[in-house]
Amino acid sequence: MPVPPPPDPAVLAAIEQDYKPVPLKLNENQVLCDGHGLEKCGECEVDFVAVNQLAKMIVSHPEYAVPPPPNMIPPQRSQAVSKAKEEGNSAYKARRYPQALHSYTIGASIAAARPSWEHSQVSRDEISILLSNRAAAYFEAGEFMNSLVDTEAVIAIRKPWSKGHYRKGKALLGLGKGEEARDAILTGLSYEPTNQELLTFLAEIENKIGRG
């Protein structure tokens, strides 16, 4: 096994130069400044907020005695998200839209609560799908503005995904904003020019607003 090179003396000197001991004290599961007992103290020039949040998260999840390896995805949360999504889909298909909205909201909340050390792409994918589904449920329930709000969030999280732009176009058309709906679909087509769902809906919009 190769022996690593010794530390660079110049780097060590720079680290030592910037190093400053920080007096602190522990209060149950919190780290506080020693002088004032504050989590964030300008006078002591300390900020333990992030450290305390991580400690609280670990304490509330005994299964995480230490943070797991990077990108490790515990199956329990993924299963809970999938269960909520499936329940929402079943309710949506049965036209029980309030129940579908409730399930999608629960699923999105679970996904958003993933620990910071888990891969963020997993959370983004889960949340974007759940919010897209919730936007569809809002649309079918006649709540077009709420549907539009969810589609904007989907696009912010996952801009190239056609479904967000499609749902946005639907919501805007429901609000009577045909030209804006057309623009939303054209934006989606800029990412997926051959997407049949977008092309079909674009033709429908243009027919309604007299552009066909």
Cβ atoms of 198 and 186 closer than 8 Å: no
Cβ atoms of 167 and 147 closer than 8 Å: yes
Question: How many domains in the chain?
Answer: 2
Q: Tell me if 1 is assigned to some domain.
A: no
pLDDT value of position 1? 46
Beta carbons within 10 angstroms of residue 126's beta carbon? 22
> Phi first, then psi: what are they for 210, rounded to 5°?
80, 25
Most confident of 5-9, 20-24, 41-45, 105-109: 105-109
pLDDT > 80? residue 18: no
Tell me the pLDDT tens digit for each residue of 80-130: 999 999 999 999 999 999 999 999 999 999 998 887 767 778 888 999 999
10-46 burial string, b = 16+ CB within 10 Å, else e?
A: eeeeeeeeeeeeeeeeeeeeebbbeeeeebebeebeb
More confident residue, 26 or 176: 176
Q: Tell me if 16 is assigned to some domain.
A: no
Q: Tell me if 116 is assigned to some domain.
A: yes
Q: Tell me if 203 is assigned to some domain.
A: yes
Q: Tell me if 163 is assigned to some domain.
A: yes
Tell me the pLDDT tens digit for each residue of 160-209: 999 999 999 999 999 999 999 999 999 999 999 999 999 999 999 999 88
Q: How far apart are CA 174 and CA 168, in angstroms?
A: 10
Cβ atoms of 84 and 106 closer than 8 Å: yes
CATH of the domain at 151: 1.25.40.10
Q: Tell me if 194 is assigned to some domain.
A: yes
Residue partners of 140: CB distance under 8 A and separation at least 6: 92, 95, 97
Q: How far apart are CA 164 and CA 159, in angstroms?
A: 8
Tell me the pLDDT tens digit for each residue of 132-158: 999 999 999 999 999 999 999 999 999
Q: What is the largest CA-CA distance in the chain?
A: 74
Tell me the pLDDT tens digit for each residue of 32-87: 888 888 888 888 888 888 888 887 877 777 666 566 565 667 788 899 999 999 99
| Whether residue 100 sits in one domain with residue 184 | yes
More confident residue, 108 or 3: 108
More confident residue, 154 or 11: 154
- Reference 133, options 161, 113, 175, 173; nearest CA is 161
- Reference 46, options 54, 55, 56, 37; nearest CA is 37
| Domain encompassing residue 79 | 75-208
What are the start-end ranges of the H helices in the chain? 9-18, 49-60, 75-93, 97-112, 120-140, 144-157, 162-174, 178-191, 196-208
